[in-house]
Amino acid sequence: MTTHILGYPRIGAKRELKFALEAYWKGESSEQRLYEVAQHLRQTHWQTQLDAGMDLLPVNDFAYYDQVLNMSTLLGVIPKRFRQTPYTLDVAFRMARGRAPSDDMVNCCAGHADPSSEQASKADYAGAMKKWFDTNYHYIVPELDEDTEFKITDTRLFEEVTEAIQLTGKAKNIKPVLVGPVTYLYLAENKGTAIPKLNRLPALLEVYSQILQRLAEQGIEWVQIDEPILVLDLSDDWQTAFKDAYESLTETPVNILLATYFETLGNNLDLTCHLPVAGLHYDGLRGAHQLKDVIANYPADKVLSLGVVDGRNIWKTDLTDAARQLEPAKTKFGDRLWLAPSCSLLHVPVNLEAEVNLNPELKNYLAFAKQKLAEIKLLADAVDGKANEEALQINRQAIEEKAASTLIHDAKVQARIATLDSIALDRATAYAERTKGQKAKFQLPLFPTTTIGSFPQTQAIRQARRQFKQGELSETHYIAAMQAEIHEVIERQERIGLDVFVHGEPERNDMVEYFGEQLDGYAFTQFGWVQSYGSRCVKPPIIYGDVSRPKAMTVSWSQYAQSQTDKIMKGMLTGAVTMLQWSFVRNDQPRETTCNQIALALRDEVLDLEAAGIEMIQIDEAALREGLPLKQSDWADYLRWAVNSFRLTTSGVKDTTQIHTHMCYSEFNDIIDAVAKMDADVITIETSKSQMKLLDAFVDFDYPNEIGPGVYDIHSPNIPTVEQMVNLIQKAAENIPVERLWVNPDCGLKTRGWSETEPALTHMVDAAKVLRKQFEKQIKRA
């Protein structure tokens, strides 16, 4: 049975790629050194797969920044502002980052600036970045200009194929990986052109044919073409595009393995089964409830690759159960049944062996990328009748121990979950009533000003946290250092003139990790890094068991902060859905149940904050929209439990306690009703980049509560003027009654410096004062 993977983590077990990229970008290392590191990583990853018994090695799963960007440079889809001859790697970096090491100091400040901003007018702005389906990986969105001409431009694909052939000695063992033409067009954005995207398909297919021809000339027999949009709800014209595309590509002299993942094929099952390709890869885990239909309907004379080892989570596979699931496919397809992970292993850490500090029991339940290769081989041998009984027995024992583990299962938490129906999810009174008491209590002016939570984290703050964590700083000295920082942040806010304060969060390294470290049921790795985008890596926590809160997590910090000022101090928490979305989540119970466990822990924290005198409490749900299922038919159920988890967190407070929430990177039009059902007294959202266009969602929907649309982009070092912020707030006032408008930045200020933060916030406060004079006169006249 043929074994393969769809892709391997590219960053390296010790984040070698990250450090090589950043050294190159800073001018501290040469391009040649970057190439050497990249080549070493590719060859190490291929050798790891060979050693594990994989039959086909993926090529072009490696990228210096992103696999979709790889496709853009290969196809010549390079925006006008970045085109140059000859093409170099720096062109790709400019597309991704707006700058490259050879650029001047103006360009190096551009980054992901909004194209309409003053900052972007001084330099070439980077391409947009979006989430890759429902993962936490981001891709660079292809831009189609009026004069975009598809042509092979970046030849790294063919060079890396040669490199892989030299390693293995056999071209037939190499499987190049391409983002498919229909998915590529679907994800692309038209820039300054009205040409319908699908009108470009014939020209695009010509270049794909040339690519496949060149690969055939290199001796390649199989090419993996990823078409993940086949799991989405596609309109007729996009379904037709698939038929046209693969009718065209069937003339090429290679075998195409069409790869889908992340969901079922849904209504695209019949279409997919009849596409003229040599094989199909199907995600047998996230598409489990359509697996039988895929096996029954896919032609028996073609290859069916099934992914029954989870490429997106870190738990061991139940190999006995997986082998049982594969029996019908083995009977029908015989040697034409291939085995792989469900999707690329890009989304999991590299090697569990490095985790020497993890609880040994928990470690026994896990599998990272390298371990998943071994699982695929063990499973293939078992299905082929060559089972390694000793290894399978070890696997069975781990699965059975996990099911009964007291580390994972907490009777007290489960008993509390069983009583959920007895907890009221509604606040005591409706917003329209409780807002009267809040306004009387807080006496805030029109356009009250606040920030989202975090303030700049200096090197001294990070060093104190690190020293405390490593035992080099006593708890007494650590608390004193953090309190000193909180005191300084409060003094700065008083000088600036903000209306509602925050404590600045100096004690927090990460908005999820900080809470996870204090909750039972969470674990953290040392080297469990995964790529988010470019050189940006994240280390998601592991929710391994029933979640509970042993003690208060934030109360002492908020209480101290409130004692330092007469101004209102917001308590700051990360919401349950965001905690869930940005973690590796246990796979033995519904996500809804796990989310409710986190919500109950946060509910306890909210009530403790309230009891400690904190009268405004913000629960950030940055990832609420990210959790939406890929199929719209599944949205209602997700939004039901996601909204209810927020209400579970907040419904126990008094009417006069004001609940805030914050969301970023969100498009609200399609979830605005759910956002309203959360019933937060105040919602702050990221809107400045869109020039308040996100507020269009509020035109047709009368959002009843208060809103703080962000008035400046914290991702940019640019300091907005008072006039710019006045203009944005005036735009917001066209859609939102001024009595319900707050004034705040887009997001937290953790990554900015004080030299940018203080003047920007001062301008923001001044803008609010200008608007108060303007609108107070209007209100009095009315």
109 is in an annotated binding site: no
Taking each helix axis as running N to C, give the angle between helix 459-469 and helix 475-496, from 0 to 180 degrees, rounded to the nearest 10.
Answer: 160
Q: Which amino acid is at 477?
A: H
Task: Determine the residue type at 396.
Answer: R
Q: Does the annotation flag 343 for ligand binding? A: no
- β-strand partners of 208: none
Question: Could you read off the pLDDT of 527-572 as tens digits, one per residue?
Answer: 999 999 999 999 999 999 999 999 999 999 999 999 999 999 999 9
* Residue in 628, 412, 620, 607 with CA at minimum distance from that of residue 521: 412
Q: Is 591 annotated as a binding residue?
A: no
Q: How far apart are CA 313 and CA 136, in angstroms?
A: 12
Report how far residue 669's alpha carbon sits from residue 722's, in angstroms, rounded to the nearest whole number.
29
- Using pLDDT thresholds of 50, 70 and 90, give the confidence band for residue 172: very high
**pLDDT higher for 455 or 123?**
455
Q: What mean pLDDT do residues 712-739 have?
A: 88
Q: Same topology for domains 16-404 and 457-781, yes or no?
A: yes
- Helix (H, G, I), strand (E, B), or coil: what is residue 449? strand
Residue with tokens 């105040």: 682
Q: Does residue 287 have a pLDDT over 70?
A: yes
Distances 78 to 86, 153, 225, 252 between C-alpha atoms, Å: 13, 9, 21, 26
pLDDT tens-digit series, residues 34-52: 999 999 999 999 999 999 9
Mean pLDDT of all residues in 414-431 = 96
pLDDT, position 124 = 63
User: What pLDDT is attached to residue 109?
Assistant: 38
**Alpha carbon separation from 567 to 114, 240, 399, 442, 570 (Å, rounded):** 34, 61, 54, 10, 10
What percent of the chain has a predicted confidence (pLDDT) above 90?
Answer: 86
State the CB neighbour count (10 A cutoff) for residue 9: 26
Query: What stretch of H or E contains 339?
Result: strand 337-341
Residue 662: enclosing H or E segment and its boundaries?
Answer: strand 658-663
First to last CA, the chain: 78
Kindly report the backbone phi and psi dihedral angles of residue 85, in degrees, each rounded to the nearest multiple of 5, phi listed first. Answer: -125, 130
| Strands 584-585 vs 530-533: parallel, antiparallel or unpaired | unpaired
Give the pLDDT mean for 641-663. 97
Residue 453 in marked binding region: yes
Do 286 and 342 meet the contact criterion of CB atoms below 8 Å apart?
Answer: yes
Q: What's the CA gap between 107 and 738, in Å, rounded?
A: 39
Q: Is 454 assigned a ligand-binding role in the annotation?
A: yes
Domain made up of 457-781: CATH architecture: Alpha-Beta Barrel (3.20)
Q: What does the pLDDT look like over 726-737, one tens digit per residue?
A: 999 998 898 889
Contact 423, 472 (CB under 8 A): no
Mean pLDDT of 474-492: 97
- Angstrom distance (rounded) from CA 262 to CA 770: 50
Query: For residue 302, which of 274, 333, 329 has the smallest C-alpha distance?
Result: 333
State the CB neighbour count (10 A cutoff) for residue 246.
22
| Ligand-binding site membership of 536 (annotated) | yes
Average pLDDT over residues 705-728: 88
**Segments of 378-507 assigned E as strands:** 500-501
Phi, psi for 59 (deg, rounded to 5) = -125, 140
| Mean of pLDDT over the chain | 93
pLDDT at residue 654 tops 80: yes
3 state SS of 309: strand
662 labeled binding residue: yes
- Residue with the bigger pLDDT between 750 and 297: it is 297
What's the pLDDT score for residue 114? 44
Query: What global pTM score does this model have?
Result: 0.92
Q: What is the mean pLDDT of residues 427-450?
A: 97
Half-sphere exposure of 724 (CA within 13 A, CB side): 19
Q: Are strands 174-179 and 138-140 parallel, antiparallel or unpaired?
A: unpaired
Locate the domains of the chain by residue range. 16-404, 457-781
pLDDT in tens, 300-323: 999 999 999 999 999 999 999 999
Alpha-carbon distance values, 198 to 141, 183, 192 (Å): 16, 11, 16
Distance CA 60, CA 175 (A): 9
CA pair distance 75, 593, nearest whole angstrom: 45
Q: Is 131 annotated as a binding residue?
A: yes
Residue 651's φ and ψ, nearest 5 degrees, are -75, -10
Angle between helices 389-404 and 319-333 (to 10 degrees): 130
Question: What tokens appear for 267 in the block?
Answer: 């209504």
The secondary structure element, H or E, covering residue 310 is none
Q: What pLDDT does residue 695 have?
A: 72
Q: Say yes or no to pLDDT of 182 above 50.
A: yes
Higher pLDDT, 728 or 61: 61
CA distance 729 to 709: 8
Count Cβ atoms within 10 A of the Cβ of residue 227 and give its class: 0-12 exposed, 13-18 middle, 19 or more buried.
buried
Tell me how far apart the alpha carbons of residues 222 and 174 are, in angstroms, rounded to a whole number: 8
Instruction: Specify whether the CB–CB gap between 260 and 292 falls below 8 A.
Output: no
Lowest mean pLDDT among 25-39, 395-409, 658-672: 658-672
Closest CA to 349 of 226, 526, 497: 526
Per DSSP, the residues of 536-586 read EEE---EEEEEEE-SS-SSHHHHHHHHHT-SSEEEEEEE-HHHHHHTSEEP
Q: Is 537 annotated as a binding residue?
A: yes
**What is residue 691's predicted lDDT score, i.e. its pLDDT?**
64
Cα angle 455-459-465, degrees, rounded to a multiple of 5: 85
620 is in an annotated binding site: yes
| Annotated binding residue 134 | no
For residue 701, what pLDDT band results from cuts at 50, 70 and 90? Answer: confident
pLDDT for 688 equals: 64
Res 666: pLDDT: 57
- Which CATH architecture group holds 16-404? Alpha-Beta Barrel (3.20)
488 annotated to a ligand binding site:
no
Residue 153 Cα distances to 58, 178, 525, angstroms = 21, 15, 40
Catalytic residue annotation:
715
Query: Do 228 and 631 meet the contact criterion of CB atoms below 8 Å apart?
Result: no
Measure the CA–CA gap between 246 and 500, rounded to whole angstroms.
58
Which are the contacts of 739, defined by CB distance < 8 A and separation ≥ 6? 446
Residue 412 assigned to a binding site: no
pLDDT band, very low/low/confident/very high, at 116 (cuts 50, 70, 90): very low
- What are the residues facing 708 on neighbouring strands? 684
Report residue 426 as tokens: 């509604």
Smallest CA-to-CA distance from 490 within 475, 506, 479 is with: 506
Q: What is the pLDDT of residue 128?
A: 87
